[in-house]
Structure 1
Amino acid sequence: MDKAELIEGKVDWKGRTAMRYKHGGTRSSIFVLGAFTFENMATLALGVNLVTYFTGVMHFDIADSANHLTNYLGTSYIVTILAAFLADAYIGRFRTVLVSTFIEFLGLGLLALQAHYPKLKPPLCNIFAPNANCSQVNGANAALLFVALYLVALGSGGMKAALPSHGADQFDDKDPKEVTQKSSFFNWLLMAVCLGGAISLTFIVWIQDHKGWDWGFSVSTIAMFFALIIFASGLPWYRFYVVNESTSALTGIVQVYVAAIRNRKLQVPEDCNELYEINKDKEAAIQAEFLPHTKAFRFLDKAAIETPESSSQTPNPWKLCRITQVENAKILLNMLPIFCCTIIMTLCLAQLQTFSIQQGVTMDATITKHFKIPPASLPIIPIIFLIILVPLYDQIIVPFIRKFTNVPTGITYLQRVGVGLILSAMSMAVAAVVEVKRKRVAKEHNMLDAIPLLMPPIPISVFWLTFQFFIFGIADMFTYVGLLEFFYSQLPQDLKSISSCFLWSSMAIGYFLSTIVVKIVNSATRDITRSGGWLAGNNINRGHLNLFYWLLSILSLLNFCVYLFVSKRYKYRKESSNGEKDHELQQKNVEEEK
């Protein structure tokens, strides 16, 4: 067998070394993309329509419904950290996806069960009616609701953590052709989200609104079953990254900080050759990725200072760390400001999934005499645009820009993220302007006290909301895909399995922050508004949502200014295809420091 056909560090499903033309590549990534499509088909409708379910069926008020939704979404993203840790250190990415898909399938099934049986939910009641005394879901029924909801969050988080990384594992970083294919894979990952979302925001939302929530949740459950089958079907063709159970990447990072604190009184040597592992021989370097020493965050170098005690025995990893471990910790610390600057964007996204949908409930959604678009289907506008734009961007725009920039992805990862951040600020500004117009029309027609679902809609087309969704959809394409590529490319090999969780963790913090910001804004404005706060109450027409949107736009603009500062200071990690090149970079770095 030709050794060139074997892929070092990757195995097939039987544990044998993977073969280049039999395992992995674009063919196996199709199964990953298919599973991600059906997963988004099953769950994306929840992100835009659950507020309606919480208010109309479970009888929560609008602010509480919005907070329950953002808490659910935040949990689904923050759990990616735990899932990535398990995938990296114990069960592997493939098994993580399988288990997560089944958990999500179970959660959706429980939601369908509760929505079907009247005894499992509150009695019918219109929460928007004057003096309505609707009882919220409580007791065992409330427990069932939140258990089912957070099972979906747990499963969705596991898929988000492991599925993109498993898909990227199908490509070999040492093959230039497959490196280009991997870059395209991340763009097509967004396409999978769009295709699944397009079906979810139209077909499933329509079923939820016209056939009943039980039918809607049932269709989502069936979609998750197909996701499970499609992903498992790719088993014979997948490449699997060999899990190192001895020490997880996250544990190695923690060891660096513990060791640095323990060695805080030691003096960092001027010659970096004296640091542990820095002068390993060339043959040893080839066996594993070998990171060159850098001058950044020198206090962490104390974790790699050898003492007579540590050099005379087997090193305690909590007192003495390899310099490669130290450099891994530096990489994460260097990326932290970029990570923090993306949180505000998710804070804005949360409002489009909550308050913007409630705006749409009050507006005229008529398309033809016999058809009205459900407000929760409004995000289909930017998704349709992205379905058209993503292939054009990947196949035409990127190759064209590449001729001028000589950057494989057209523009750098950080430039792509920056474009998305400024567009999100514009989206919130447009949302504020549209809300002013909506309320002006309501006032002109004496409909400020109009009760949603009981009275005719305000005579303004719901398509006015598409402007803010459209701009934010483009921002999604730039920022979120750019972040996935950025984290995956900048992290070393033994940290790539947790690369995707950085994006999802940023989104999780953004969703949780939305809950906090909504409560702070209501508390701060309680005494200066009749409604008890800008966002308080069940009548959105009496609120001050436009001022809240302006606040978010200003915050986003300030956040973008901070991002410009930190992104200019960021130094990209030097790419290397194998240990030998890493060794050469290390030797060059040593000579420069001397």
Structure 2
Amino acid sequence: MEVKPELVDGKVDWKGRTALKYKHGGMRASLLILGTFGFENLATLALAVNLVTYFIVILHFDVAEAANHLTNFMGTCYILSILMAILADTFIGRFKTAVIAGCLEFLGLVLLTIQAHSHKLKPEPCNIFDPKAHCEKLTGGHKALLFIGLYLLAIGSGGLKAGLPSHGADQFDEKDPKEATQMSSFFNSLLLAACVGGAVSLTLLVWIQDNKGWDWGFGVSTVAIFLSVFIFVCGMPIYRFQTIKGTNALIEIIQVYVAAVRNRNLSLPEDPADLYEINKDKEAALDGEFLPHTDSFRFLDRAAIVQSKPSMELQDTEAAAASSSPSTNDPPRICRVTQVENAKTLLGMLPIFGCTTIMTLCLAQLQTVSIQQARTMDRSVITSSFKIPPASLPILPVVFLIIIIPVYDRLVVPFLRRLTGIPTGITHLQRIGVGLVLSAISMSVAAILEVKRKAVARDNGLLDANPQVQALPISIFWLSFQYFIFGIADMFTYVGLLEFFYSEAPKALKSFSTCFLWSSMALGYFCSTVLVKIVNSATKGITRSGGWLAGNNINRNHLNLFYWLLAILSLINFLVYLFASMMYRYRVKSPSLEYSKDDDEKSRP
């Protein structure tokens, strides 16, 4: 009788029993998670690109204020994913975190729908582009309602971003070569699902927002989030759930740094085997993770210096308890080698994390000022009667990505895999680097096209034209070039980052590490807010408009110079990234019970 293989990597089913490989997880379960992610993106992507229009036209914020409100909202959404990830990894698990987050996002969208529908909860209609108009601004309790709804939405979106990618990757066994390849495809499919949902969002949902009203737009987003949570919960019987040990892995990492500082005056042993580690055979069997010593960040090895070697009886007791921190008289003073190596991994990932914020800073401009560029241009498609909404412009790279992602995953990756011998075709860090280069090119193209757009406005005497009354005689599709290039950069960098952070992270910190991506995006959005203010302040006295990006008339601004600034920053950022990636050493994937100096010579990206 054939015995069905059971998972031995600490994953269980929804009833807490050991998950069975033939019954739980795999591609079947991941499809539901992909569907969940797709509906979530359907609900939120249109908001990311069109909320600035809602803020300006409906709520009467000026351009810079509206852009900053949006980037602050997006930044908060991503930064909160860290807190939700800690909750997922340490306390309630990734599944419950995603469900709770979905409910909060649903509630936030309900509040926004109510405000958009009620005339009493928003300012009276007014043409904010008319310099003679005195438009009422959103104030008091009405403004509070807006931000309560927005930041409930931000908490929920952050929780789904923290829980869904890591829970989806949990459906695969990294030790199984077949499932490891499927996991790589899952991350590509995650972007594909986001693009499919985004395509609907950027067309149907944006059209509804602009033509049927924002109450209908928020309402459709609310329904989409409801469907997202429903689909996700339906998969509960077939999911693999990562077990929670009840210990805070992040605290264990911090213990390494504390112990290393406290032991800073101690000398490192010549033989790394003399560093502290509980009984390897028993620990490997119980904990499922043992990492050999590496020579990187040697100062952290002081956290594992043995001052008085524990007795064998004490070692066996610790192993039986599967404790990741040794039970000595002074626990923070001595840590396991595996614990130290986990701390080294996270420390080594920080420079990679830091080098990705500039790309999101560039993305923030495509979601704010580029949309305002589009509002001034000819938006006719085929006939003059059909006009594309400005916020729908990103649909062009999204459609391209829907086509190219399956081609990349099914044709390009297998071809590269045969050439390089790397399961993902090229390394994660190489993939990220390609995207960073493309983002710099995208900003350069954006600067060139903005010069062309302003030249058309100047030549036709339309520098002061109201975009709602008279559009410039230049097609909106000129802006598609910058979106197109940045869309390809998305495919390389953001998917590469997700897979890099998940695969390199300690086992107990998968959600937390994947949130490095969302955190870098959060910093990018916040940096965008700061950069806009700095640029406007620095250029206030040298421009008639009061700054490169000041005021509501984008035709009088100097957006082209701002784009060139972003292109230069992106190029400098890429050079820094090259150095950081060359210094990074990939995490040892295969557990080994014996230390070997060969482990210190892992290939660099």
Q: TM-score, normalised by structure 1?
A: 0.96
Report the CA distance shift for 1:486/1:590 in structure 2 as closer, same or farther (over 3 A): closer
User: Does structure 2 conserve the Cα–Cα contact (< 8 Å) formed by 1:272 and 1:590?
Assistant: no
Q: Residue 6 of structure 2 contacts residue 20 of structure 2 at CA under 8 Å; is this kept in 1?
A: yes
Q: Is residue 522–residue 536 contact of structure 1 (8 Å, CA) maintained in 2? A: yes
Cα deviation code 1:320-358 (max 9, x no counterpart): 221111111111111111111111000000000000000
Q: Which of 552, 556, 570 lines up with 1:542 in the alignment? A: 556
CA change 1:375–1:590 in 2 (3 A) is closer
Whichever residue aligns with residue 285 of structure 1, its letter is A
Who is 2:465 aligned against?
450
Spell out the pairing of 1:399-414 with structure 2 (5 A cutoff). Answer: 399-414=414-429
Matches within 5 A, 1:476-487: 476-487=490-501
1:344 maps to: 358
Q: How far apart are 1:255 and its partner, in Å?
A: 1.1
RMSD: 1.6
Q: CA deviation at 1:471?
A: 0.2
Q: Does 1:11 align with 2:12?
A: yes
Q: After superposition, where does 1:98-117 map in structure 2 within 5 Å?
A: 98-117=99-118
Among residues 411, 436, 442, which one is paired with 1:427 in the alignment?
A: 442
Letter in 2 for 1:467: F
Q: CA deviation at 1:315?
A: 4.7
Q: Distance in 2 between matches of 1:590 and 1:341?
A: 27
User: How many residues are matched?
Assistant: 584
2:388 equivalent among 367, 370, 373: 373
**1:390-440 deviation per Cα after TM superposition (whole angstroms, max 9, x unaligned):** 010101111112111111111111111111000000000000011000000
* Cα offsets for 1:553-577 (capped at 9, x unmatched): 011011111111221222212211x
- Which of 483, 497, 509 is the equivalent residue of 2:523? 509
SS across alignment from 1:583:
coil
* Aligned position for 1:95: 96
1:265 is aligned to 2:265: yes
Residue-by-residue CA offset, 1:440-463 (whole Å, 9 max, x unaligned): 00001100001221x210111011
Shift of 1:500: 1.2
* Stretch of structure 1 that moved more, 300-309 or 501-510: 300-309
Q: How big is each residue's C-alpha offset from its partner over 1:163-210, in whole Å with a ceiling of 9 and x where there is no partner?
A: 000000000112111111111000000001100000000000000000
* Distance in 2 (alpha carbons) for counterparts of 1:459 and 1:541: 13
Gaps of 5+ in 2: 315-326
What is the CA–CA distance in structure 2 between the aligned matches of 1:440 and 1:262, rounded to whole Å? 63
Q: Conserved in 2, the CA contact under 8 Å of 1:363 and 1:458? A: yes
Compute the displacement of 1:286 (Å).
3.4
| Matched ranges for 1:351-390 at <5 A | 351-367=365-381, 368-390=383-405
CA distance in 1, matches of 2:264, 2:422: 41
Counterpart for residue 134 of structure 1: 135
Tell me the residue number matched to 1:205. 206
1:55–1:127 Cα contact (<8 Å) kept: yes
Contact 1:45/1:197 (CA < 8 Å) preserved in 2? yes
Deviations 1:215-234 (A, max 9, x none): 00000000000001000000
- Secondary structure at 2:10 match in 1: strand
- 3-state DSSP class of the match of 1:371? strand
Separation of aligned partners in 2, 1:241 and 1:6: 11
Conserved in 2, the CA contact under 8 Å of 1:94 and 1:162?
yes
CA distance in 2, matches of 1:47, 1:533: 25
Structure-2 separation of matches of 1:138 and 1:463: 37
Match of 2:592 among 582, 586, 589: 582
How far the C-alpha of 1:308 sits from its partner, in A, is: 3.7
Q: Work out whether residues 273 and 590 of structure 1, in 8 Å CA contact, stay in contact via their aligned partners in 2.
A: no
Distance (whole Å) between structure 2 residues aligned to residue 243 and residue 232 of structure 1: 20
1:242 aligns with 2:231: no
Alignment correspondent of 1:26: 27
CA distance in structure 2 between the partners assigned to 1:562 and 1:537 by the alignment: 34
Percent sequence identity over aligned pairs: 65
Tell me, in whole angstroms, the C-alpha distance in 1 between the residues paired with 2:599 and 2:580.
Answer: 26
> Could you tell me which residue of structure 2 aligns to residue 439 of structure 1?
454
Task: Name the counterpart of 1:393.
Answer: 408
Unaligned runs of 5+ in 1: none
Contact 1:80 1:505 in 2 (8 A): yes
Equivalent residue, structure 1, for 2:176: 175
Q: Check the 8 A contact 2:588/2:599 in 1, yes or no.
A: no
| Partner SS state of residue 291, structure 1 | coil
Q: Provide the residue aligned with 2:504 in structure 1.
A: 490
The DSSP-based 3-state class of the residue aligned with 2:132 is coil
The CA distance in 1 between the partners of 2:249 and 2:239, in whole Å, is: 23
